[in-house]
Structure 1
Amino acid sequence: MTATRQLIEKYLQGWNETDPLRRRTLIEDVYAEHAAYVDPMVEARGWEAIDATIAAVQNMFPGHLFRLAGEVDAHHDIARFHWHLAEPGAADPLVIGFDVVVLDYGRIRQVHGFLDKVPMAA
Structure 2
Amino acid sequence: MSSISTLLIRNLHDVFGENDPVRRRAAIDEIYAEDSVFYDPNNGVYRGRDEIDRVAGAIKATHPDFQYQPIAEPEESGDGGRVSWVSGRPGEAPAYAGTDFIIARDGRIAAVYLFFDKLP
Q: 2:72 aligns with which of 70, 74, 79?
A: 70
Aligned length: 116
Contact 2:8–2:100, Cα closer than 8 Å, also in 1: no
Once the two structures are TM-superposed, the CA of residue 111 in structure 1 deviates from its matched residue by 0.7
After the TM superposition, which of the residue ranges 55-64 and 23-32 deviates more from structure 2?
55-64
RMSD: 1.6
1:7 equivalent in structure 2:
7
Structure 2 residue 28 is matched with structure 1 residue 27: yes
Unmatched segments (≥5 aa) in structure 1? none
Once the two structures are TM-superposed, the CA of residue 3 in structure 1 deviates from its matched residue by 2.4
Once the two structures are TM-superposed, the CA of residue 73 in structure 1 deviates from its matched residue by 1.1
Matches within 5 A, 1:40-119: 40-42=41-43, 43-90=45-92, 92-117=93-118
Once the two structures are TM-superposed, the CA of residue 53 in structure 1 deviates from its matched residue by 0.8
Q: Distance in 1 between matches of 2:10 and 2:64?
A: 20
TM (normalized to structure 2)? 0.89
Unmatched segments (≥5 aa) in structure 2? none
Q: Percent identity?
A: 31
TM (normalized to structure 1)? 0.87
Q: Distance in 2 between matches of 1:27 and 1:67?
A: 19
Once the two structures are TM-superposed, the CA of residue 86 in structure 1 deviates from its matched residue by 0.9
Partner deviation per Cα, 1:10-32 (whole Å, 9 max, x = no partner): 11122111111111000111110
**Matched residue SS, 2:94:** coil
Once the two structures are TM-superposed, the CA of residue 84 in structure 1 deviates from its matched residue by 1.1
Partner deviation per Cα, 1:44-68 (whole Å, 9 max, x = no partner): 1111111111111112112101121
Q: Distance in 1 between matches of 2:118 and 2:30?
A: 29
Q: Which amino acid letter does the alignment assign opposite residue 54 of structure 2? A: A
